[in-house]
Amino acid sequence: MATDQTSVRPVTKAVVTVAGLGTRFLPATKATPKEMLPIVDKPAIQYVVEEAVAAGLDDVLLVTGRNKNAIENHFDRNWELEAALEAKGDLERLKRVRESAVIADLHYTRQGDPRGLGHAVLCAARHVGQEPFAVLLGDDLIDERDPLLTTMLDVQARHGGSVVALMQVPRDQINLYGCAAIEGEPDDLGAVTIVDLVEKPPVADAPSNLAIIGRYVLDPGVFDVLRETDPGRGGEIQLTDALRRMAVSGEHGPVHGVVFTGRRYDTGDRLEYLKTVVRLAAERADLGPDFSTWLKGYVTEELGR
């Protein structure tokens, strides 16, 4: 149902997918989900859950795979640790340790076989029910200074249907992403209409350089479409394929895109992960000054040789 009231957002639930194999990070991810890798001193997944909460979605379902215990434990109380920190009088760390346990109303479901992002989203069907909902990829970080999800929720409230986050990438990298064909000019929220989607197209066939990034607001009709979606690229059930059908047919409402121009960190890729850690460490008030001084020296003296 379309509405012009951007202030009325029907979305209350977020689904965060963390069930992938994380093969690019092996062997680190043999026994630990990649979403638990630290970005300085906080695991990537915590940034993502905090982002959902900041957008007003504090009912968060994590779709987990093997090794889910580390994630569940991170978002749980750790009485022994808390008692030890309290005894030492380390109240600052105590606060940070407790924070992750009260962050949101967290739920968990298992994907079982990691049969693709579309399949992971389908695992959320029972929890989500008949409401529109957000999907956040657990290894994809959006800088809190550049809120994206809030805009996407506003777009969904205005137009109904589904909303996909897009980002311009260099043309020769579009084959690494889902790619969107759009129509028309952006409205005042920056929303464009998506008319086609294709998962990881060859560069020569890509309809644009607009890549799908890891944020979605979806109509619950996507579950019916996913149930009928055959495995696609890589033998996986692709969310992009289901959204393509919705965009082309118009069933379950329009599919809009929001072109994001802010800071995004793809922590599932080793090079991007390293850049993220360096950048966020350099910006930290506590570590930044010392780290930046060392980094400048390292770059000019060691790498400059």
Binding residues for ligand UTP (CB under 6 A)? 17-24, 63, 111, 114-117, 119-120, 137-139, 268
Least Cβ distance, residue 182 to ligand UTP (angstroms): 23
Least Cβ distance, residue 25 to ligand UTP (angstroms): 6
Say how far apart CA 172 and CA 204 lie, in whole Å: 9
Least Cβ distance, residue 224 to ligand UTP (angstroms): 20
* Best CA proximity match to 136, nearest among 33, 245, 211, 61: 61
CA distances from 48 to 62, 92, 144, 171, 271 (A): 11, 22, 10, 27, 19
- The smaller minimum CB distance to ligand UTP, of residues 139 and 154, is found at 139
- The smaller minimum CB distance to ligand UTP, of residues 33 and 190, is found at 33
Residues 6+ apart with CB under 8 A from 119: 111, 113, 226, 236, 237
Q: How many C-beta atoms lie closer than 10 Å to residue 296's C-beta?
A: 11
- The smaller minimum CB distance to ligand UTP, of residues 28 and 54, is found at 28
- The smaller minimum CB distance to ligand UTP, of residues 111 and 162, is found at 111
The closest residue (CB) to ligand UTP is 20
Q: What are phi and psi of 137, to 5 degrees?
A: -80, 130
Least Cβ distance, residue 24 to ligand UTP (angstroms): 3
Least Cβ distance, residue 117 to ligand UTP (angstroms): 4
- The smaller minimum CB distance to ligand UTP, of residues 15 and 85, is found at 15
Say how far apart CA 202 and CA 175 lie, in whole Å: 5
